[in-house]
Amino acid sequence: MATEHFDEKAATWDDDGDKERQSGEIARGITAAASPAGGDRLLEYGAGTGLVTQALLEATPGLLVTLADNSTGMREAIGNKVEAGALPPDTRVWDLDLESDPVPEDRFELIVTSMVMHHVKELETVLRGFATMLEPGGHLCIADLDHEDGSFHDHDFEGHHGFHRSEVEASLTAAGLVEVHIGDGTSIEREDGTYPVFLAVATRPSD
């Protein structure tokens, strides 16, 4: 998919102070549901500037971090945070688009993604990719917009107007994941209204 929009936004992404609140709430939900431990391998897909991972590391230092994004600008912003010490020095930064790229061989105890899936056309392909990359017993955590009327995006947008939670549950189950739980993740407050964000957590069954 075209990445220009996020390439342009990357340098000022963190200037919106409310993103820190949103990321913190999402990370707290993930930590409570998935109970990660130091040494677990974490993949954040569509990581942007890595805000959710930064918040996850506050609760669980020692996570082994891989941040993937198909936007050059976002990957540069992540690289700057690694250099500045805001992300661990051994953070891996991947240019990955699971809609079109082969699924990496690497495996993870925890895969998280925040506000990305509504941009993804090939949902089934990407969800299957996540399921493949999870260790048995590992968790996938998806935070994204609840279904909205299309007013959320003010730029050229060909993605999803959020999701109904029932369709998220069905898609995660179809990808082979189990123990699907979906609750409130956070909310995005804007002048034109409040947009609720769900947090879905699912597990790869043991082989």
Least Å distance between CB 45 and ligand SAM? Answer: 6
Q: Which is nearer to ligand SAM, 35 or 100 (CB)?
A: 100
Least Å distance between CB 205 and ligand SAM? Answer: 25
Q: Which is nearer to ligand SAM, 137 or 190 (CB)?
A: 190
Taking a C-beta distance cutoff of 8 angstroms, is the pair 72, 6 a contact? no
The residue type of 99 is E
Tokens 């060909």 sit on residue: 158
Q: Which is nearer to ligand SAM, 96 or 172 (CB)?
A: 96
CA dist 33 and 181 (Å) reads 9
Q: Which is nearer to ligand SAM, 65 or 116 (CB)?
A: 116
Q: Which residues bind ligand SAM (CB under 6 A)?
A: 1, 3, 6, 19, 46-48, 51-52, 69-71, 74, 97, 99, 114-116, 119-120
Least Å distance between CB 99 and ligand SAM? Answer: 5
Name residue 142's beta-bridge partners. Answer: 113, 200
Q: Which is nearer to ligand SAM, 29 or 46 (CB)?
A: 46
* Best CA proximity match to 87, nearest among 79, 97, 95: 79
Least Å distance between CB 100 and ligand SAM? Answer: 8
Helices 165-174 and 123-133: angle between axes, nearest 10 degrees? 60
Least Å distance between CB 38 and ligand SAM? Answer: 22
Radius of gyration of the chain (CA): 16
* Token couple for 132: 């493949």
